[in-house]
Amino acid sequence: MHTLSRSKFLRLALLSICSGLAAANCSIVKATNESKFTFKASRLNTLSKGFNLEHWQGHELTDGFYTQASLLEYKSLGLTYTRLPVVLWRFLNDNNPSVLKTDYLAALDTIVQMHVNTGLGIIVSPFNHPYELYSDPVIEARFIAFWKAFASHLSSTDPEKVFLEVMNEPSAKTAEDWNKVQVKLIAAIRSGAPNHTIIASSNLRVAVNDWDNIQALLDTQIVEDKNVVYNFHCYVPFVFTHQGATWGWHALQFMKNIPYPSTPQAVAPMLSSIRDSEAKSAVENYGKEEWNKDKFLKVLSPIAEWAKTNEVSVICNEFGAIPWVAPRDSMLRYLKDITQVFETYGIGWGHWFGLNMQDTEVMQALGLKPLL
């Protein structure tokens, strides 16, 4: 994540309007709490099976990588929605966050309309927010203003097909720290888009050194707004899904050919070739944990219970295993097991890593209909 650069003058200027925004935000929160927005079951059906338009996280929205024709093919597979990474610098005006940058608005509108035309849903998800959002009132005020403007811009789109996610992978020090910010951002979104379903984001971690997105979801604050779906990301077991990764945890790069399901016997042949002690220990523990479909049922059961107890809907709009590293047979088994468990619990899912429509085996593993 990057840090927003700002001059002392800009900071003082924003501080001067911060109290006004805060007062306005209090009114927004009050209005949201007093309203009873209704969540339609048809929208949850739209969020049942999806994939991420990850190409557009790192490329221009105008490059035509996904077209209306390709979206129609995705729909024919049985997919119901996509998720668009909205890189914030393209739309957030640091100097005047209540007025959107316009360079990419037309491209965004075209992408959204393509989805509406094809009958696919789309989650619009802001990426690359600054860490200071969780602690700096100036940055918080900036994002409240931005989200109100961004939601207002999208408010004219079809609320049955267009969904507004608060933030991709917030990583505050604690889930409680993120809750304090998220409730304000949800209120800002609602003030700009009164009819759209909002996707609330769970924090990536429970505490400073406890990176457990599943547990963090259980600690996510439930808001009064009923037209909200709660979201988490699921990359467990990380040793399998991110083996060979060259980013994040350094030990991952030493893990190769890690199988799924896992047993001590299944991982034993790999241990002697792993030179990094931390990686070796992690793979050994992965084997002992015996990851399989039953394990996923157990791990995700608390989420299903939490959703039932709180009378809310839950989705997981990111999961997957790095396809160019994970052993293929293991990856296919993993995809089949985890999606079946999601569906058992009524949790809509969204696959992250690139989706090759021509890969019949992957389509079948995901429970989709391969192209003829």
User: pLDDT, tens digit, for every residue of 230-251?
Assistant: 999 999 999 999 999 999 999 9
Phi then psi dihedrals of residue 27, to 5 deg: -65, -40
Which residues form the domain of 255?
239-290
Within a domain: residue 297? Answer: no
Regarding whether 247 and 117 lie in a shared domain, the answer is: no
Within a domain: residue 179? Answer: yes
Regarding whether 53 and 66 lie in a shared domain, the answer is: yes
- Three-state DSSP state, 50: strand
Q: Is the pLDDT of residue 366 over 60?
A: yes
Regarding whether 196 and 245 lie in a shared domain, the answer is: no
Give the angle subtended at the CA of 205 by the CAs of 84 and 162, to the nearest 5°.
20
Q: Is the pLDDT of residue 327 over 70?
A: yes
Q: How much of the chain, in percent, has pLDDT values that exceed 70? A: 90
Q: Would you put residue 367 in left (φ > 0), alpha (ψ -120 to 50) or beta?
A: left
Regarding whether 255 and 214 lie in a shared domain, the answer is: no
Instruction: Indicate the burial class of 44 (C-beta count within 10 angstroms; 0-12, 13-18, 19 or more).
Output: middle
Regarding whether 60 and 130 lie in a shared domain, the answer is: yes
Residue 126, CA distances (Å) to 17, 36, 66, 84, 188 in order: 24, 26, 19, 8, 14
Please state the rounded mean pLDDT for residues 168-181: 96
User: pLDDT, tens digit, for every residue of 4-54?
Assistant: 333 333 333 333 334 444 444 444 444 334 344 567 889 999 999 999 999
Regarding whether 84 and 105 lie in a shared domain, the answer is: yes
Regarding whether 50 and 135 lie in a shared domain, the answer is: yes
Regarding whether 219 and 153 lie in a shared domain, the answer is: yes
Please state the rounded mean pLDDT for residues 306-325: 97
**pLDDT given at position 26:** 44
Regarding whether 150 and 23 lie in a shared domain, the answer is: yes
**Structure tokens belonging to residue 119:** 């009958």
Please state the rounded mean pLDDT for residues 226-230: 97
Regarding whether 56 and 163 lie in a shared domain, the answer is: yes
User: pLDDT, tens digit, for every residue of 134-143?
Assistant: 999 999 999 9
Mean confidence (pLDDT) of the chain: 90
Regarding whether 191 and 174 lie in a shared domain, the answer is: yes
Within a domain: residue 298? Answer: no
Within a domain: residue 354? Answer: yes
Q: Are strands 49-52 and 81-87 parallel, antiparallel or unpaired?
A: parallel
Within a domain: residue 111? Answer: yes
User: pLDDT, tens digit, for every residue of 72-96?
Assistant: 999 999 999 999 999 999 999 999 9
**pLDDT given at position 2:** 38
Please state the rounded mean pLDDT for residues 160-177: 96
Within a domain: residue 168? Answer: yes
Q: Is the pLDDT of residue 110 over 70?
A: yes
**pLDDT given at position 37:** 52
Give, for 287, the enclosing helix (H) or strand (E): helix 277-289
The CATH number given to whatever domain includes residue 206 is: 3.20.20.80
d(CA 174, CA 177) in angstroms, rounded, equals: 5
**pLDDT given at position 101:** 97
**pLDDT given at position 343:** 98
**pLDDT given at position 171:** 95
pLDDT category, 354, cuts 50, 70, 90? confident
Q: Structurally, how many domains does the chain consist of? A: 2
Q: Would you put residue 119 in left (φ > 0), alpha (ψ -120 to 50) or beta?
A: left
Q: Is the pLDDT of residue 121 over 60?
A: yes
**pLDDT given at position 38:** 63
Q: What is the pTM of this model?
A: 0.89
